[in-house]
A and B are shown apart, each in its own frame.
Chain A
Amino acid sequence: MWKLLQIELFKIFKRPRTYIAFGAIAAIVFLIQIALKYDGKSYIDLLLSNLSGSFEFSDEFKGKLLNGYLICFIILNTLLIQMPLLVALISGDAIAGEANMGTLRLSLTKPISRTEYMLVKFAASIIYTLALLLCMAALALFGSMLIFGTNDMVVMRSEGIEQIKNFDVLWRYFAAFGFAAVALTTVSALAFLLSVFAENSIGPIIATMSIVIVFTILSEMNIPIYDQTIKPYLFTSHMVAWKGFFYVKADAEGTTINGSIENFPAVMRSLGILLVYIVLFFGSAVWVFKKKDILT
Chain B
Amino acid sequence: MNAIIEVKNLTKKFRDIKAVDNLSFTVEAGQVYGFLGQNGAGKSTTIRMLLTLITPTSGEIELFGMNLSKHRKEILRQVGAIIERPDFYKYLTALENLRLFASMSGVKVSEKKLMEQLDMVGLAERANSKVKTYSQGMKQRLGIATALVNDPGLIILDEPTNGLDPQGIADVRNLILLLSKEKKKTLLISSHLLSEMELIADSMIIIDKGKKLVEGRVNELFDPSETIVELKTTDDAATFEKLQQSSLKIFMHGKRNDCLLLKLHRNEVPSVMKELVQMDVNVVSLHSKHSLEDYFLSLTTGSTHVEAATN
Binding site for B on A (CB under 8 A): 3-4, 7, 10-11, 14-16, 101-103, 105-113, 291, 293-295
Contacts and interface: CB of A to CB of B under 8 A. Distances in A.
Interface stretch (B84-92, B185-193, B248-256): B84-92
A103 B73 contact: no
A293 B55 contact: yes
A102 B86 CA distance: 8
A294 B90 CA distance: 21
Contact of B104 (A4, A14, A291, A294): A4
B76 A111 contact: yes
B103 to A, nearest CB: 6
Contacts of B181: none
Contacts of B53: 105, 108-109, 293-294
B269 interface: no
Contacts of A16: 91
Given A15-B91, A294-B53, A110 B85 contact: no
Given A109-B83, A110-B101, A112-B104, A101 B89 contact: yes
B90 A101 contact: yes
Nearest to A11: B89
Given A106-B101, A109-B53, A110-B76, 13 more contacts: A11-B89, A14-B89, A15-B91, A101-B89, A103-B89, A105-B53, A106-B81, A106-B88, A108-B51, A111-B105, A112-B104, A293-B54, A294-B54
Contacts of A293: 48, 53-55
A108 to B, nearest CB: 6
Contacts of A109: 51-53, 76, 79, 81, 83
A10 B89 CA distance: 11
Interface string B130-156: 000000000000000010000000000
Given A7-B103, A109-B83, A110-B76, A103 B52 contact: no
Interface of B: prevailing SS = loop
A110 B48 CA distance: 13
A107 B104 CA distance: 7
B302 interface: no
Given A15-B91, A293-B55, A113 B72 contact: yes
Interface residues of B, number: 31
B106 interface: yes
Contacts of B72: 111, 113
B73 A101 contact: no
Given A110-B76, A291-B55, A293-B53, A101 B87 contact: yes
A11 B76 contact: no
Nearest to A293: B54
Contacts of A107: 101, 104
B114 to A, nearest CB: 15
Nearest to B93: A14
Nearest to B83: A105
Contacts of A113: 72-73
B170 interface: no
Most chain A CB neighbours (cut-off 10 Å) among B52, B90, B104, B105: B104
A293 B13 CA distance: 11
A105 B53 CA distance: 7
B77 interface: yes
B235 to A, nearest CB: 52
B103 A295 contact: no
Nearest to B82: A106
B309 interface: no
Most chain A CB neighbours (cut-off 10 Å) among B55, B84, B100: B100
Nearest to B53: A294
A108 B73 CA distance: 11
B92 A294 contact: no
Contacts of A11: 89, 92, 100
Most chain B CB neighbours (cut-off 10 Å) among A105, A111, A295: A111
A151 to B, nearest CB: 46
Nearest to A116: B73
Contact of A14 (B83, B91, B105, B146): B91
A41 to B, nearest CB: 47
A16 B91 CA distance: 8
Contacts of B105: 110-111
Most chain A CB neighbours (cut-off 10 Å) among B77, B85, B106: B106
Contacts of B104: 4, 7, 107, 110, 112
A108 B52 contact: yes
A103 B88 CA distance: 6
A179 to B, nearest CB: 34
A105 B76 CA distance: 13
A203 B245 CA distance: 70
Q: Which 7 A-B pairs have the closest CB atoms?
A: A102-B87, A294-B53, A110-B104, A111-B76, A111-B73, A293-B54, A109-B51
